[in-house]
Chain A
Amino acid sequence: MAYTTFNRNINDQLKEPMFFGNAVNVSRYDQQKYPIFEKLIEKQLSFFWRPEEIDVSKDRIDFQQLPEHEKHIFISNLKYQTLLDSVQGRSPNVALLPIVSIPELETWIETWAFSETIHSRSYTHIIRNISAEPHKIFDDIMLNERILERAVDVTRYYDDLIDGINLYQRCGEGTHQINGKTEQITLRELKKRLYLCLMSVNVLEAIRFYVSFACSFAFAERELMEGNAKIIRLIARDEALHLTGTQHMLNILASGDDDPEMAEIAKECEEESYAIFMRAAEQEKDWAAYLFKDGSMIGLNKDILCQYVEFITNSRMQAVGLKPRFATTQNPIPWINTWLVSDNVQVAPQESEISSYLVGQIDNEVDTADFGDFDL
């Protein structure tokens, strides 16, 4: 029951469920229950980048010349993204590592959270560059009501899960007296909290980031804040991969192949899953209204952004087996896609074609035709 960092039970890891089985002992990848997670790890590693590689010095000049309402849009989005990645840089580790039971998934979770910490560090890189007083921007995150409002929903499901795991691993299933309070936990309830937590993470990565992304790319379409857009593009590429990871977890759980009880739970949670999506979409629309309260920017206004939120919400719902709930079927800002194409991501000048190159990659395939023009 209690968590152990090196489980002494000799178990067949291929027979463990993704979560709530035996804690992982040996981190081995010679055999994998779900090879997809190993593939995601490799992809994520091939994406590795550092914020300092991107030159943001021109952004400082651009920023100074932005009108006040556009400065508000730019800074507010950065603050919101800082909040989101603060959560994502730690919470998958804290919430999921104590309950994961297969090594490739455990390592995926760590790899995923690590890449979020790079995103966090890149916000400091951007903000330091555009402001002489970066501390004021960061300090405001904890004071800004608009941001704190959404922090509640972003973190709620994580906190519920973590709280439940603590109780379960300390005391086991049942009713317990803790500090004079009666607390109850069952494994089934924990599984439910896990499912809802993953659904909320899915929404975070699938919808919440995209309002900010759209604004960043709208600036860059006007050749403004292009250093920032390059960084956001790398972040968007990572997020698309994380989203895929979360969608895999959700879909494997919902299929019941991994743990039959989880299929029941997924059905039970359907209404709440819809509610998580719809609530996030509404909050993001409110956020769009807040961003544009003092004026729109060229190429983007509140209505267009709200339509985009609806469009993307529909498509993300379908990806996890839910039915779309909004009438919007067309992407109102199709130009955003060209910014989201993986191959267009460029980090370093020597890397002019493919962004996902592997350092020191060698092509080992040799064909007899390769020796065609050799004479001995």
Chain B
Amino acid sequence: MPQVRINGEVVVNFDGSSPNLLQFLEQQQQAVNYQCREGFCGACRCKLLSGQISYLQEPLAFVRRGEFLPCCSIPQTDIELEIPK
């Protein structure tokens, strides 16, 4: 079960009860910006500081190196992410 470290503080296990990382973050009461929830708008962009995620569907939005879209991904390994302020 991969561990998710959020903003350098909270560490939670990704236990598979959420279909993607965006819902997972919302369940942890983390405010993440979002719009389409389908990977084409890019509003939910977060920083991936370490670890690997895999996309459930390839995002259409522009994603820079070091960033990822939580709305259409799940963690592959333990990850560390940062929600932009």
Residues of chain A whose beta carbon lies under 8 Å from any beta carbon of chain B:
36, 39-40, 43, 237, 240-241, 243-244, 247-248, 251, 315, 318-319, 321, 329-331, 334, 337, 340-343, 356
CA of A374 to CA of B45, assembled, Å:
46
Q: Separation in Å of the B38 CB from the closest CB of chain A?
A: 5
Q: Which of B31, B41, B84 contacts A244 (CB 8 A)?
A: B41
Check if B75 is an interface residue, CB within 8 A of chain A.
no
A244 touches B38 (CB 8 A): no
- B22-36 to A contact mask, C-beta < 8 Å, 1/0: 000000000101111
Known contacts: A318-B84, A341-B35, A342-B37. The answer to whether A241 contacts B43 by CB under 8 A is no
Q: Are A244 and B62 in contact (CB under 8 A)?
A: yes
Q: Is the CB of B33 within 8 A of A331?
A: yes
Q: With A39-B60, A40-B60, A318-B84 in contact, is A240–B40 under 8 Å at CB? A: yes
Of residues 27 to 63 in B, which have CB atoms within 8 Å of A's CB atoms? Answer: 31, 33-38, 40-43, 45, 58, 60-62
Q: Which of A248, A321, A337 contacts B35, CB < 8 Å? A: A337
Cβ–Cβ < 8 Å partners of B35 in chain A: 240, 337, 340-342
**Would you call A247 and B38 a contact (CB within 8 A)?**
no
| A342 neighbours in B (Cβ, 8 Å) | 35-38, 40-41
The CA-CA distance from A340 to B43 in the complex, in Å, is 11
B72 → chain A, closest Cβ, in Å? Answer: 11
Contact of A337 among B34, B58, B60, B62 (CB under 8 A): B34
CB pair B38–A319 under 8 Å, yes or no, is no
- The 8 residue pairs across chains A and B that have the minimum distance between CB atoms: A240-B41, A342-B36, A340-B35, A342-B38, A247-B62, A329-B85, A244-B61, A248-B62
